[in-house]
Chain A
Amino acid sequence: MASTIRVRATASGDSTEVQALIQHPMDSGFVKNAKGELIPPHYIQQVVIEHGGKPVFIADWGPAVSKDPYLKFAFKGGKKGDDLKVSWTDNKGASDTLTAKIQ
């Protein structure tokens, strides 16, 4: 099955721009379902991006981040062809990871 993570990493000069889109319900715990029951909170808490074996950016998220969350940031030192690793963990202990190549 396909990963929940989509990454677009582009190197330009000495800077790499990273965009990630992650498939996740990001349920806040405040919304009710059709039966009127509260849907329990289910959201990504942390996203770690690593390059060359080192974290370059970490996101700490709460349930106010939108469903199918998006993230964009940039860092120095990446080159075209390098691996970029994106991982997330959520409040239920689930996780996923994806390694993509910088374009």
Chain B
Amino acid sequence: MRRFSGLAMAGLAIAVAVLSAPPAAMAADTPNPPADLKAFQKFFKDKFPKVKFEDFVNGPYSMDEGLYKQWKEKEEFPPYEFALDLGKELMAKPFKNGKTLADCFPNKGIGIRQDYPHFDAKQGKVITLELAVNQCLEANGEQPYSYVKDEMAAVTAYMAYTSRGKVFDVKIPDDPRALAAYENGKRYFYTRRGQLNFSCATCHVQSPGERIRAEVLAPALGILNAMPIYRSEWSGMGTTSRRFTSCNSQVRGVPLKPQDEEYRDLEYYLSYVSNGLPISGPGARP
């Protein structure tokens, strides 16, 4: 092999320095969320041409007729009714200082679920609905709820219910931190983890409608729109936090803590790429 001359080497070095993008481990192309959104939604629409766009929010139920029928029967008088009542009660229950949970939210928390998650410029991070609930409790001197079930599930169920039909319209403001959060969430979604070495995409992008053991997989498109959910498997309610942490455990990885930055960013990414789909929560799932 010919040796490069010193000048050529210098030139090469300069060229590399100039063209050098962020760490070569990730694709060095410019983040383009609108293009991602378009490609993401097109992928699922092409894969499932018979599924009506708004039905993607029904998870496995839009993928399998047998499941759909059982779901419809349960929806006649759904198992999350009790959580709804509890949630409504908790929203209005006064704290020790006289304020209520509803007071922390625009429009008393009615019809605003689809505005979460969003990037909060002041706090410099993604705020999810669950985080907002606990921030409210803590700001008012109250004990925060556990993120995974019970009161948190009840309150977010009620808020989702009041937003049924409203669509996600998640924005990524012109702020490099917001874009970084979006990219972080996207990266998390596509990264393999755990002993089973699955990424979220392995199941929910590569194999929706197919089975993992005996369960039918939901498509990633619209996967958070039905949250929180009453799962037959849990015999009870669970939040987005519950699903993320349990999913990590199920691929035999170590779950993060609920509402850790990566989970919030993941929720940001997943909600953004589901823009245009209606809130259908609270939902029932197998």
B-side contacts of A8, CB under 8 Å: 77
A-side contacts of B85, CB under 8 Å: 2
Cβ of A6 within 8 Å of any chain B Cβ, yes or no, is yes
User: Known: A2-B85, A68-B82. Contact between A19 and B235, CB under 8 A?
Assistant: no
> Are A21 and B235 interface neighbours, CB within 8 A?
no
Range of interface residues on A (Cβ < 8 Å):
10 to 19
- Total inter-chain residue pairs, C-beta < 8 Å: 23
Range of interface residues on B (Cβ < 8 Å):
10 to 19
Cβ of A61 within 8 Å of any chain B Cβ, yes or no, is no
B161 to chain A, nearest CB (A): 15
> Are B76 and A68 interface neighbours, CB within 8 A?
no
Proximity bits, A63-74, B CB within 8 Å = 1, else 0: 000011010100
Cβ of B79 within 8 Å of any chain A Cβ, yes or no, is yes
Cβ of B81 within 8 Å of any chain A Cβ, yes or no, is yes
User: Known: A23-B82, A68-B82. Contact between A6 and B235, CB under 8 A?
Assistant: no
B-side contacts of A70, CB under 8 Å: 74, 77, 79
B228 to chain A, nearest CB (A): 16
> Are B81 and A6 interface neighbours, CB within 8 A?
yes
B-side contacts of A67, CB under 8 Å: 235-236
A-side contacts of B74, CB under 8 Å: 70
Alpha-carbon distance A8/B78, docked complex (angstroms): 12
Quick one: closest B residue to A6, CB to CB?
A: B81
Chain A interface residues (CB < 8 Å from chain B): 2, 6, 8, 19-21, 23, 67-68, 70, 72
